[in-house]
Amino acid sequence: MRPFSALRGASAAIVIAIVGGASVVRGDGAQKPASPIYGVTIPDGYRKWELVAPALEHEPLNELRAVVGNQEAIDAYRAGSLPFPDGAVLVKLAWKHVQAPEFESALVPGAATTVQVMVKDSKKYAASGGWGFGRFIGGKPVDEAQHETCFACHESRVKARDYVFTRLAP
């Protein structure tokens, strides 16, 4: 991707996501896999972001999950203001849940499963409530058919909450 190494920022990312269909170029020239439809990538440093809330998914997923948010997202949560501002990003980490080895009554994270990303850009993603979606397994985006289900589900269930399921845990 050297021809693109001088390109920077979101516009470059969009161009290349459209052209290449599956990756964007970071500032350092490295490629990041991007989601189909939306061109969303896994944000750098998200593992250090502030916790919004944990959750448990019953059958068939059997997962423990945790949603974290960047500062724009957290600020909006704390202010209780909707819609989320452009630039807000939410990331959901997920793991198969397993029996805690030293504590009978607890479930804890096992193998990581998916990383799911929502990026707010009210212009770029105007057709999907202002949100771009990305669902990744092992760092790679799942297919287009799966991405077509993201907004449909969020729209049908939580449109009134700016399409976001997760509430800030008290």
Binding region for its own copies (CB under 8 A) = 47-48, 50-51, 53-59, 61, 64-66, 68, 93, 95, 97, 100, 102-103, 105-109, 111-112, 157-158, 165-167, 169-170
The distance of closest approach from Cβ of residue 156 to its own copies in the complex, given in angstroms and rounded to an integer, is: 9
Q: Name which of 134, 129, 135 is nearest 159 in CA terms.
A: 129
The distance of closest approach from Cβ of residue 97 to its own copies in the complex, given in angstroms and rounded to an integer, is: 7
Nearer to its own copies, 15 or 66 (CB): 66
CA distance 88 to 118: 8
Nearer to its own copies, 29 or 139 (CB): 139
> Given its phi and psi angles, is residue 6 left (phi above 0), alpha (psi -120 to 50 degrees) or beta?
alpha
The distance of closest approach from Cβ of residue 31 to its own copies in the complex, given in angstroms and rounded to an integer, is: 23
Dig out the tokens for 46 from the structure: 């998200």
The distance of closest approach from Cβ of residue 37 to its own copies in the complex, given in angstroms and rounded to an integer, is: 22
Residue with tokens 């189909």: 36
The distance of closest approach from Cβ of residue 79 to its own copies in the complex, given in angstroms and rounded to an integer, is: 15
DSSP state for residue 21 in the 8-state scheme: S
Contacts of 16 (CB under 8 A, 6+ apart): 1, 4, 7, 23, 24, 25
CA distance 65 to 19: 33
| Contact (CB, 8 A) for 38 and 13 | no
Nearer to its own copies, 124 or 154 (CB): 154
Nearer to its own copies, 22 or 61 (CB): 61
Nearer to its own copies, 34 or 115 (CB): 115
